[in-house]
């Protein structure tokens, strides 16, 4: 009888250890799945920020309005295995480089910025919720003219 | 007679036998439960493997190719791509990438999703397409290229319905 109890106890311990080991592997994999899917979406934000003509970027109806004004949009980030849709919100804004002229949001002068360069940090922040947890991911592109 | 009684006392009683069998069954059930638990985790790993293992490699290849290209065109079929007929901007399984060479000439390559395989072809100067250079993936359920606001987007659908959309700008 003692041997049987010992065997059951040992099996229980082995089962719990295996469960813990499996969960240790599963949790980072789930994190990787989320990262892969959301990284794929963020490549669109980066590509669009790099491609948009500069005059459209700084226009009054720019997809990236000058900070503190922001522009939010609900987007589909991708689908998890099983087809579950991941949706999120993308918030876009652009911030001026401090050496821009005042008209471009900076405090530069003709002495500090003789070429009248306009430099903007174009930022997109995606926020999404999976499994009750909130995540945020950002991409920033530097545009200048 | 005394010897016979002693022998009977050394044997298991019915209750003892029942208890032993139940304990044995419990141990067997626990072993099966542990085995099933491992199988369940293996199934979960298998379901996730496309996104965790295959998709990052596909992303790496496609983004590098598109990032190095000078222009692109979308077509419904490889024959359309080779003859440069019916270019489109809607979802298409074939994407032609053009690269400018150092001598100023252009060479083309084709990314094509055909028969469940995403193939990469380099178009020879003769224009006659040979076998594909690479098979980028054989596990995707669908691959579609389309254009949105001037950005080339690649929608990758996996075997479990997972969906990733890569985007890239040409040079």
Complex prediction ipTM: 0.79
pLDDT recorded at residue A91: 96
Tell me the domain boundaries of chain B: 50-168
Residues 6+ apart with CB under 8 A from A30: B48
- Which of A41, A43, A61, A80 to mutate to probe the B interface, most B CBs <10 Å? A43
pLDDT tens by residue, chain B, 171 residues = 555 555 556 777 899 889 888 988 988 998 999 999 999 989 988 888 898 888 888 888 888 888 889 989 999 999 999 988 999 989 999 999 999 999 988 899 999 999 899 999 999 888 788 888 889 999 999 999 999 888 899 999 999 999 999 988 766
How many domains in chain A? 1
What tokens does B38 get?
Answer: 């491992």
CB contact under 8 A, A82 and B162: yes
Quick one: which of B58, B169, B45 has its CA closest to A44? B169
Running DSSP on this structure, what letter comes out for residue B46?
H
pLDDT recorded at residue A12: 87
Nearest CA in chain B to A50: B169
Contact assessment for residue B154 and residue B143, using Cβ atoms and an 8 Å cutoff? yes
What tokens does A71 get?
Answer: 């522009």
Q: With beta carbons under 8 A apart, name residues in chain B contacting A51.
A: 149-151, 169
pLDDT recorded at residue B3: 55
Quick one: which of B67, B79, B77, B74 has its CA closest to B91? B74
Strands B134-137 and B117-122: antiparallel
CB contact under 8 A, B41 and A26: yes
CB contact under 8 A, B164 and A7: no
Query: Model's pTM, two decimal places?
Result: 0.81
pLDDT recorded at residue A129: 87
Range of the domain at A122: 2-144
């Amino acid at each position: 009888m003692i041997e049987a109890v010992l065997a059951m106890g040992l099996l229980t311990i082995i089962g719990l250890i295996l469960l813990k080991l499996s969960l240790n592997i599963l949790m980072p994999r789930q994190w990787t799945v989320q990262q892969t899917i959301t990284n794929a979406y963020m490549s669109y934000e980066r590509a669009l920020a790099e491609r948009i003509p500069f005059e459209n970027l700084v226009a009054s109806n720019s997809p990236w309005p000058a900070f503190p004004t922001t522009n939010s949009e609900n987007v589909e980030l991708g689908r998890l295995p099983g087809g579950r849709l991941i949706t999120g919100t993308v918030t876009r804004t652009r911030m001026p480089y401090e050496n821009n002229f005042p008209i471009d949001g900076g405090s530069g002068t003709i002495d500090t910025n003789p070429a009248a360069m306009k430099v903007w940090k174009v930022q997109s922040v995606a926020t999404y919720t999976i499994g009750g947890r909130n995540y945020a991911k950002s991409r920033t592109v530097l545009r200048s003219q | 007679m005394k010897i016979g009684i002693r022998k009977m006392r050394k044997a298991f009683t019915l209750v003892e036998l029942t208890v032993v069998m139940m304990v044995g069954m419990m141990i067997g059930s626990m072993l099966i439960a542990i085995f099933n638990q491992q199988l369940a985790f293996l199934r979960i790993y298998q379901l996730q493997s496309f996104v965790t293992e295959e998709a990052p490699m596909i992303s790496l290849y496609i983004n590098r190719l598109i990032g190095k290209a000078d222009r692109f065109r979308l077509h419904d079929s490889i024959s359309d791509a080779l003859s440069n007929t019916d270019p489109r901007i809607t979802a298409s399984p074939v994407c032609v990438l053009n690269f400018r060479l150092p001598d100023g000439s252009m060479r083309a390559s084709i990314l094509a999703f055909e028969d469940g395989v995403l193939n990469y072809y380099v178009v020879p100067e003769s224009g006659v397409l040979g076998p594909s250079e690479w098979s980028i993936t054989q596990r995707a359920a669908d691959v579609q290229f389309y254009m949105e606001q001037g950005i080339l987007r690649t929608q990758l659908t996996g075997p479990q319905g997972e969906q990733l959309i890569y985007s890239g700008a040409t040079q």
